[in-house]
Structure 1
């Protein structure tokens, strides 16, 4: 039998043994397709028009001084960085920044922990209980903020509130206790409300990540003697780390810019500046004081602060994608 001569390699077929593979340099210098970048152009244009213009307007306004004359049509005076310097020298500014960051970090951490626990609970219970829990979370998440705040303010009302009634029935000294009069209890109530409104998003996001964890791997770890805490720490947590990172990042941004909850709580209780966070402080500068220049400067600083808090998590996500 005559030997069959080896046929030439077909394009796209596996490389024969001994034949050199394409060099990494040739693959690296291969021209990239342009269609994905062209498809991104409309989204980038809409993003620049929707967000670029307000940011530029804030930057321009933050360099001008507004007063009584501007209400009668006079152009605002250009003061450069004067509004920023005035903010830095204001002790109330530093107090609001510290208060807002502390509230943001604590609330975001509590939200992610509670949301993760609820997501783990949804994977452990039966179908009926899981459905009831998911519907309850969805209803809490879909409730309008103003309607939800009306209910929460009624619950913590010092005269007719259910919370004071139940605590007083247990023998605790909470008869007509004013939760919104002291900064500590005020921020505790605000944290409870913000966590209640944010937990459903975290729970659903983490639950979606948990559905991608292999049951076989968890069963094998359980057969090897790993406890539930060990399985979560060494198997589940590393696999859902991207989900946890992104929900924590979003919670930090949202909790730093919280406004409606604090405004309605201040309207129901004390309007003291000791209860102000970034959103309410900017609102008071722009509406009560009519100081649009300082309010715009504060808004720019809040934007920079948000980028600074988010940068570490964004960099970690980018490193994870590169790996």
Structure 2
């Protein structure tokens, strides 16, 4: 029986340490490797998505065989939001966190593939190794203005120097699909064609215009302190979401949801931290305003959900559907 000499044992230990170091370095290199559409995402999508989302088919208006096609999105809008997987429909639908689930048939993406897709989106949706990371198009939501459920402590929000020229003028008026009155001042919001009109109810004069070129409003609601106006709407069979405007400036604060059909109703919680959507897909979805992440889903309805509203304290949520 032979016994290794001290020098051999020292050499063996050194080899083991060196090997472990190489493995760790390799793992770190893989972890720090730039994920790109060309090298990682296109091969991942090829087996699961290309049969439906190619230049000839473009199901849902979405083509995934090229980087430009993916970034252009589909008929329902963008499918990736750089830096934010939770707000990217390419990931949420693939991870079965949002309908329609993708792929609709066959085995879903494996956990490692979903992790890869999420990391690519979080890393700025690079096309190639030499590409620059893109930034999110989502507005940064400042929640410092979020007041309580009662009357604001400062001045009541009213339009100041916002657009007064109508986005569209027609020879005939159309049906009013939604209205809302401010809880604290003489201000009325009225849904028009591709715009929301704000009227002073005392003077009956136009106080402002909020452009909405994407479609038509199905619901309008002021926030509890009157500083925000939230709209649920879209375009039938094409797009649906909630838009939140700052009443004072007329600027969009955020856009929530990416539905494939119009949203029937939307509401914002008293603390301005959550927005709920009622859809004709028989679903109720609640989102975090700051991140756009879906917080929960209610699938109990058996018909179009036509209404959703938070209680004054924000603790309860009431919903209604076409079944009555």
Same fold per superposition (TM over 0.5) = no
The structure with more strand, counted as a fraction of residues: 2
Max Rg structure: 1
Category of TM-score, reference length = shorter chain: under 0.3
